Structure 1
Amino acid sequence: MRVMILEDDSWIADLLKQIVLSLRPDCQVVCLSSVSAALQEWQQRPADLVISDWNLPDGPGTRLLEQVRRDSSSTPLVVITGRSDRASVMAVRALKINAFISKPFQAAHVAASLETLLPPDIDQPPPQADDAQHDLLAHLYSLPSNELQLPLNAQVRDRLLQSFKGEQIDLRQLASEWQQDPALSVRLLGVANSSAYNAGGKPCSNLLEALQKLGAKNSLNLAMGLALRQSSALQNPMLSLFAQAHLDSTEQLIERSTRLARQCAMDPAPFHCAALLHRMGELCVLYQAQVWEDSGQSFSEEQIMQALDQFSGPFAISIKAQWQLPMQLRELIGACYALPSSNVKRENILMRLAACELNTNHDDPEQARLRRLAGLA
């Protein structure tokens, strides 16, 4: 089965893709961002269902739908649009559109519409391990940056999936849980700081600012897309144990850094966010190891230790670049590990002090020096 999605907003396209895959896991989904590319794709490889935005940079998505209808009278067509007035609907009446989905949409409603339109799934044999790829370290080395992810907190993921299935959840409670989840924080910060949502404005440096910029519906849809993408939490006991150790360290640094920020009458939110993300490289390695195991492969504890040592730093750098984290936040994250000799920013000094207080005894000379620089001596 093949589904084509024409949508120039990459975040919406990814969410639609994850919704389709949640309904038909073995489906092949292709996402395109221009009418010309979609027309070419359709001529080469027709799809069993077409989902198209109405307004694209190079013209209306109805150009694609018209071509599909000329070639096939039975292929289901779905239009994603911000205009669902009667005049717009009547304008494409001849195309026999099967469903109109208005923006901003709810993921659960989209899933309900697509469920009735997608052809039945054909049972496929379980995936077999690829004998040519048997080494975890080689696999991690070959991973492209756009596949790097952090594991969602299992409880947060379960709540999001409950909402996707139509169950009522307390959004305020869910948002409070997001503040402790590195995966959601880095994703929402990345989207909020992208050109699509922040054209030349002040960058968001913490989750609250990102939520305010994106709005409740967009934030929930983005979180839902991440939850649908992650087929499982860290189910391997060893990986879960390693992850919990890193999350415990994160919680301790959040408490210590935000306390110092308040003591110095500074906004604690960026400190909270930097501390939350300072182990994202390690968490990314552990998540990718779980994906590796889910594909039928295996690893040893020694390989996990080697992977954490070799890839945590490079993965963290790649994620920070991929998700366009602002420089203020990058500097705070970096200060958790080291402080450049030329640094004069008080917030970075405070973050470095918080990390040192967790890792050294109270009489350490470096702590005393940092406290003097921070004006706390």
Structure 2
Amino acid sequence: MTAVDLPAVPRVLIAEADPWSRDLLKQVLLNVRCDARLDVCADGQHAATLLGEKTYDLILADWELPGVDGLSLLRSVRQKRRSLPFILLSSRNDSASVREALPLAPTAYLTRPLNMESLTQRLQDLLLNEGESVYCEIPPLAPGMTLPTFLERRREVCDGAPLRVDVKAAVQRSLGPEGLDLKQLEGQVHSDPQITAVLIAAANSAGYHGTPVQTLSEALHKLVPGQSMNLILGLALKHNVVLGDPGLVAYAERHWQLSQDSADYARRLARMLELDHERCYSACILHRLGDLALLRCLEDWRQGGGALDDQTIGESLDAFGAAYGSALRTRWRLPLELRQLIAGIYSLEGGVYSREALVVNLAVQMARLTEHEGLEELAGSKTARLLKVGLPELTRVRKT
């Protein structure tokens, strides 16, 4: 495909089995051509069916697709359209695999972890004329749309929370002479609920096996450094990852701070009690994810022409925040053990709870106290008694 035969609006097929890699490819492509007509699938047979039904201007396919693999798709395409741009993605970087693919003339053969700059440049060359850029207006709200209906519809498809951390700066500060320093990167992004959730979810996706990952540190070490970096940078490409409305920003800052204070208290309490402090930290940093995701959807509402004020924001959080959090944790398939620990933050009614669940519940209660409120009542609570934590211990945790 050359500049003279570019379609007005290109149709693109992405075939990628891993959901987080699939989402990353989608975001990189839409960042280049936000108007692209995009079909996305997770297996080779579905991709083959789509190729038989539609005419595409570009295909991105993973060699390791289940069913019909990406190389077989490329072979089938080349039998019909020799010049159709086809980017083959693969974890195979050995010379034998390259020699097997090259006779089928892929437009590009990209190995994982992907070089994001190289991928972006190739997509720009294939989907844009020289000097061209594409601007996509934000679509207005449908006539008669109410905010409760809008939020109810968005609950199952929302992209998560806005970003607290400047991801480009965080990655840049974590790059050293020998590549990405995972410990440094963890220190840069550990306060961001969205990054934490996405990396944990990605590390537990179908492409990775073994013990469920429940902390940011575990996720960073299970994902290869390049994949971690790509997923983090890919988050910055998404719509409304930075809030623009001052009222929404103020609410987000409060939820971020509550999450951070809770997580810090949980880590200290857990260490004092010789429990899994990183799991407790993780649960607390994620427990306001739904409220933050809702704020991001309210930004979409505002940009679509909807009215927004402080009362509306507060009422929306009360009505939908918990449901958004539950939907996200389920849809992103966060480990059941981590979800149960987060649930312990909100309720300890009935049942038998782990000591870690008691820790996170107590930590959030501490974080909600103002600086002028004492710890005496909290020290006498059922949660503190079950943990055998008194006023001296809580005072030490607060002052640490």
TM superposition score category, shorter chain reference: 0.7 to 0.9
How do residues 223-302 of structure 1 correspond to structure 2 at under 5 angstroms?
Answer: 223-302=232-311
Relative to 1, partners in 2 of residues 1:133 and 1:195: Cα closer, same or farther, differing over 3 Å?
A: farther
Q: 1:367 aligns with which of 373, 380, 395?
A: 380
Aligned residues: 372
The equivalent of 2:43 in structure 1 is 34
Contact 1:274 1:332 in 2 (8 A): yes
The equivalent of 1:126 in structure 2 is 137
Relative to 1, partners in 2 of residues 1:208 and 1:119: Cα closer, same or farther, differing over 3 Å?
A: same
Relative to 1, partners in 2 of residues 1:161 and 1:111: Cα closer, same or farther, differing over 3 Å?
A: farther
Relative to 1, partners in 2 of residues 1:60 and 1:341: Cα closer, same or farther, differing over 3 Å?
A: closer
Give the whole-Å Cα distance in 2 for the aligned partners of 1:355 and 1:171. Answer: 28
The answer on 1:155 being equivalent to 2:166 is: yes
The equivalent of 1:83 in structure 2 is 92
The equivalent of 1:323 in structure 2 is 332
CA RMSD across the alignment: 2.8
Return the offset for 1:30. Answer: 1.4
How do residues 1-377 of structure 1 correspond to structure 2 at under 5 angstroms?
Answer: 1-120=10-129, 123=134, 126-132=137-143, 134-143=145-154, 145-156=156-167, 159=170, 172-198=183-209, 201-359=210-368, 361-364=374-377, 367-377=380-390
Q: Which amino acid aligns with 1:31?
A: V
Q: Which amino acid aligns with 1:211?
A: L
Contact 1:188 1:222 in 2 (8 A): yes
Return the offset for 1:208. Answer: 0.8
Relative to 1, partners in 2 of residues 1:37 and 1:181: Cα closer, same or farther, differing over 3 Å?
A: same
Structure 1, 124-133 or 95-104: larger mean CA deviation: 124-133
Give the whole-Å Cα distance in 1 for the aligned partners of 2:368 and 2:128. Answer: 57
Contact 1:281 1:315 in 2 (8 A): yes
Return the offset for 1:142. Answer: 1.2
Contact 2:182 2:220 in 1 (8 A): no
Q: Which amino acid aligns with 2:187?
A: S
Q: Deviations over 1:294-334 (max 9, x none)?
A: 34444333322221011111111111212222333223322
Gaps of 5+ in 1: none
Q: Deviations over 1:62-82 (max 9, x none)?
A: 333234334334321211123
Return the offset for 1:269. Answer: 0.9
TM-score by length of structure 2 reads 0.83
Contact 1:320 1:330 in 2 (8 A): yes
The equivalent of 2:5 in structure 1 is none
SS of match in other structure, 1:364: helix
Contact 2:61 2:89 in 1 (8 A): yes
Contact 1:50 1:78 in 2 (8 A): yes
Contact 2:59 2:85 in 1 (8 A): yes
Return the offset for 1:273. Answer: 0.9
Relative to 1, partners in 2 of residues 1:191 and 1:375: Cα closer, same or farther, differing over 3 Å?
A: same
Q: Deviations over 1:348-373 (max 9, x none)?
A: 22222223334464232773443332
Contact 1:7 1:13 in 2 (8 A): yes
Contact 2:199 2:219 in 1 (8 A): yes
Structure 1, 46-55 or 58-67: larger mean CA deviation: 58-67
The equivalent of 2:6 in structure 1 is none
Structure 1, 87-96 or 111-120: larger mean CA deviation: 87-96
Return the offset for 1:231. Answer: 4.6
Q: Which amino acid aligns with 1:268?
A: H
Relative to 1, partners in 2 of residues 1:330 and 1:62: Cα closer, same or farther, differing over 3 Å?
A: closer
Contact 1:84 1:100 in 2 (8 A): no
Relative to 1, partners in 2 of residues 1:290 and 1:127: Cα closer, same or farther, differing over 3 Å?
A: closer
Relative to 1, partners in 2 of residues 1:161 and 1:304: Cα closer, same or farther, differing over 3 Å?
A: farther
Relative to 1, partners in 2 of residues 1:371 and 1:318: Cα closer, same or farther, differing over 3 Å?
A: same
Give the whole-Å Cα distance in 2 for the aligned partners of 1:295 and 1:192. Answer: 34
Give the whole-Å Cα distance in 2 for the aligned partners of 1:366 and 1:335. Answer: 18
SS of match in other structure, 1:229: coil
Gaps of 5+ in 2: 1-9, 391-400
Contact 2:276 2:356 in 1 (8 A): no
